[in-house]
Structures are given as structure tokens and as C-alpha cells.
Structure 1
Amino acid sequence: MHCENDVDSKVRTLAAWLRDTDTFTGTIARWLQSPVEYSSLRHEYRPVTAEHASQLGIPVGSTVLFRRGYLEVRSLGARQPVAEVSAVVVDHRLSRDARQALDSKKVALGSILSSQGMRRHTQSVTTSSAVDGNGPQVLRVAATLTVADELVAAVNEIVYRRLFDLGRQSLISPTV
């Protein structure tokens, strides 16, 4: 039972961190006390759905960038996903440098936009007991990103329990 309370405590702590951050990637790296790498799974331009159009203040059918990838950490010589990140990006609202960095497919969106003065607006942080191909999930996060007060992306993130398992080696009791 102590182990489950330990996980619950870590979930609550990480959820609090994620509610009050401008960088999901930075928060995950801070938790692990280790760098994380972005691995692209999907990077495609297509028409925006009604839900995302409403979130981003653009007309339905506008072409936007859909990105999906993992945040991974090196452990025992292999890269292991600790979080899944997906974003709907209104790329025409970004600088040319930011668009070029996005097109490289090698860098997390938040890492690219943090140098542009990005602000993160968290809509929800909820616990999750779902299991997918990467194992048990612990948190799901939804947020929008703005640059110069203009909406540029809607993001959804999943944190895997593996984050706690890998973080346990170097981070016994995270502090805020």
C-alpha cells in the first residue's frame, strides 16, 4: 500500500507542477533530473477540425500542422518514452525560424516556442488509469500555447508511469 501512496503523491506533485508551467518538456526533464529527447511520430498538414478551430480561433477547414511524438529518456542504453505529446499548430502565426525548427521534426514544440516568449495556458490536468503500448498512463494534460498573446497551438500530453520508475533512480522525493 505504501508504494501506491508513493505513486499517488508523485502524481499529485507532478500534476501541480504541470498546472503552473510554461514548458511541459522542461517540467518532465526537471522531474527526471535528466534531458529528454523528442521523437516524432507524425508531422502532417491537414484541415483543422471544428473542435480545434474553436480552441484556436481559426475557421474550420484551415490548414494546420498536426504533430505527435514522444518525450524519451535514455535508460540503460535505450530510449524509453516517458510522455506522449500531440499538438495542433497554427504555424502561419509563428516566426520563420520557429517554422523551420518545427519542420526539422527533431525538437519538441515547447522547446522551440519557449525562446519566442511562449505562454502555456493549462485547461486540464487529470489522472488516467488507461494503458496503451507504452504502459500505464498516470496523467493527461490539455493546454493552449500563445506567443505575443496570439493562440498558436492546442496540445494534449500523456504522462506514463514509467516516468516515475525511471525517475526513482535519481529523484527519490521530488520537491516543488
Structure 2
Amino acid sequence: MAQQNDVLQQTHKKRNYKPAIIIITIIINGLVALLAGLPGVENFDAFDVKILPMLNAIFNSFTFLFLVAALIAIMKKNVTVHRRFIYAAFITTTLFLVTYVGHHFLSESTAYGGTGILAGIYYFILITHIVLAAIIVPLALTSVARAWNMENERHKKIARWTMPIWLYVSLTGVLVYIMISPYY
């Protein structure tokens, strides 16, 4: 098995994904930052946009579960199952991004209405979630690019950072929704 992997690595043509990763990161993070400052579409009534944050939380929940399953699979050295769950996590993360962008394009931001210690906890979770969500974009893309290039050791090095951060971001996305949902 190890010899097969070595032969595959030697014959596999490596691709430079760095420019694509940089461009995608700038687009995603720039779009999210831009939408944060927009007021939302006035008189939008095609559907109730309040469903979108719930969909965000659902997609984040699935991302979290897929990442846990991917982690368990790789700990059991089942690369094929690990890869499939990572792809599933990318799909649910992409769906999250679409509903997140849609929500913030169509409606104003919702202010948190809690006070006291809960407000402190909420804002701590929210701020760390936002900062790490921006960081996870290039980390996740670089991790998968290294796997595609069969740079296994380099993939493992970055995945040790990517996995816990991505797990934190997806879990805290759900927590943020739960804490702010009474104020929609």
C-alpha cells in the first residue's frame, strides 16, 4: 500500500492552486464584509427571509457532523470515507454561504437583544466565529488542494489546524443562531 502511494505521488502532476485560493478567499471574505454594511433590500416580500438564518444553522450543523465523521474516518485510516465527508462538508458550507449571502443581501442585520453575561458570551462567540470564519476559507481550500496534489505530509500539517478551526466555526455558527433567533 505504501509503495502504491509513493508511485502515485511520483506520477501525479501537481497543480498550483494558490492563485485560485487567493482569489476565492478575497471574493468570499470581501463579499461578506461588503454585505455587512448594506441595509438590505427594501420591501422584499417574495418569501420570508427569516427562514434563511435557520437554514444557515442547519447547514452549519451538517457541516459540523460531516467534519466529525471525516475526523473519525481519518483516525481509522479510512481515506476514502474521510474524503467523502470532507466533500460533503464543503457542499454544506457552500450552501451555508449561499443562504448567508442571500440573507444579508435581502435584509438588515439583526441586533442581539440580550444583556448582561449572555451578551458578553454572545459577542465573544460572534467575534471569534467571524474572525475564524475568515481564516478558515484559505485554510480549508489549501488543505484540500494539498490532498489533491497528494502532498500528504503537508496536508496533515495544515489539516491539524484546519479541522479544529472549521469545527469551531461550524459549531459557533449554530450557537450564534440559537442565541440571536429570538430577536429576528
With the shorter chain as reference, the TM-score category is under 0.3
Task: Give the number of the structure whose residues are more often helix, by fraction.
Answer: 2
TM-score by length of 2: 0.25
TM-score by length of 1: 0.26
Task: Give the number of the structure whose residues are more often strand, by fraction.
Answer: 1
Greater length-normalized contact order (CA 8 Å, ≥ 6 residues apart): 2
